[in-house]
Amino acid sequence: MKTVVITGSSSGIGKAAVLAFAQAGWNVAATMRSPEKENDFKAISNVKLYALDVTETGSIASALQAIKNDFGKVDVVVNNAGFGVDGVFEAMTDEVIEKQFNTNVFGLMRVTREAIKIMRAQKGGTIVQIASMGGRLAFPLYSIYHGTKWAVEGFTESLQYEVAPFNIRMKMVEPGAIKTEFYGRSRQFIKPTDTTAYDSFIQKVEKVSMGAGETGEAPAVVAQAILKAANSTSSQLRFPVGKPAPLLLWLRNRLPDTWFFKLVKASYKI
């Protein structure tokens, strides 16, 4: 029976992934900052909760060691923990920017580093990074969020070469617009308080962005892609999932920059 570790399991894609892996017969280590608040997983025999905060190195090391002790090995680690900040870059403080990168990039790197130590010693494993279609293309008002996801893409693509000799596979799942709290209560939108210069632009972009969230696919769709990536023994690195990710990424790879930028501007009417 294989064991998977999933970070950010308390909601959205992480929660859906826990249920998908559990149903597929895996041992699931569902990690989150406050496992005592989680009730939905208690009745599932092959799911065990662990406290893990990706912003604290000690928390990561102790959680992964406890999981290895409990299950004997760690076959797959899914780096799902993250959140999104959008809005006007001019109005973003250093604190906001650093918090976004600390979770989405440095947190992912911390977990990846600890996972490699365990997997190298056990002679294999798979690390699945939850990236985004926004790690290979960009939309307005998501500058620092895109910055984190582009960083994850570059980091993971490079890292695959150095861990391959240890039979460690790197995978990236790239969701499109998914209906989660990314567009709801967990959203952090930054708007200037000292100028109205951006108001018209914000109004146009917000209408399209929030509409995409409302019509997005369910987290369960991404969970199945994560399960597929975890089971993959091929050299495939990227797994786009959820409309419109596959189509937009295909277009981004084939259209000249100026054509793609015109397409984005037209869709937002900016």
Choice among 15, 48, 50, 149 that is catalytic:
149
Whole-prediction pTM: 0.95
Residue 213 pLDDT? 72
pLDDT number for residue 181: 66
Q: How high is the pLDDT of residue 138? A: 97
Given the residues 50, 142, 145, 183, select the one marked as catalytic: 145
Mean pLDDT, rounded, for 158-181? 94
Can you state the percent helix, strand and coil of the chain, rounding each to 5? 55, 15, 30
Residue 182's pLDDT band, with cuts at 50, 70 and 90, is: low
**pLDDT digits 0-9 by tens, 77-103:** 999 999 999 999 999 999 999 999 999
Provide the CATH topology of domain 3-268. Rossmann fold (3.40.50)
Above 90 in pLDDT, residue 210? no
Average pLDDT over the chain, rounded to whole? 95
Asked whether the predicted pLDDT for residue 109 surpasses 90, the reply is: yes
Share of the chain above pLDDT 90, in %: 89
Cα 226 from chain centre: 11
pLDDT greater than 90 at residue 211: no
Percent of the residues in the chain that have a pLDDT greater than 70, as a whole number = 98
CA–CA separation, 101 vs 245, rounded Å? 23
Q: For 67-79, how does the pLDDT look when each residue is reduced to its tens digit (9 = 90+)?
A: 999 999 999 999 9
Give yes or no for residue 3 having a pLDDT over 70: yes
Both structure tokens of 193: 């308080």
Has 145 been annotated as catalytic?
yes
Please, are residues 220 and 23 in contact by the beta-carbon 8 Å criterion? no
Residue 161 designated active-site: no
Longest dimension (CA), the chain: 58
**CA torsion through residues 157, 122, 42, 33, sign:** negative
Q: What is the pLDDT of residues 122-158, one digit of tens each?
A: 999 999 999 999 999 999 999 999 999 999 999 999 9
Q: Which residues pair with residue 172 across a beta bridge?
A: 129, 238
Q: Are 222 and 16 in contact (CB under 8 A)?
A: yes
- Domain locations in the chain as residue ranges: 3-268
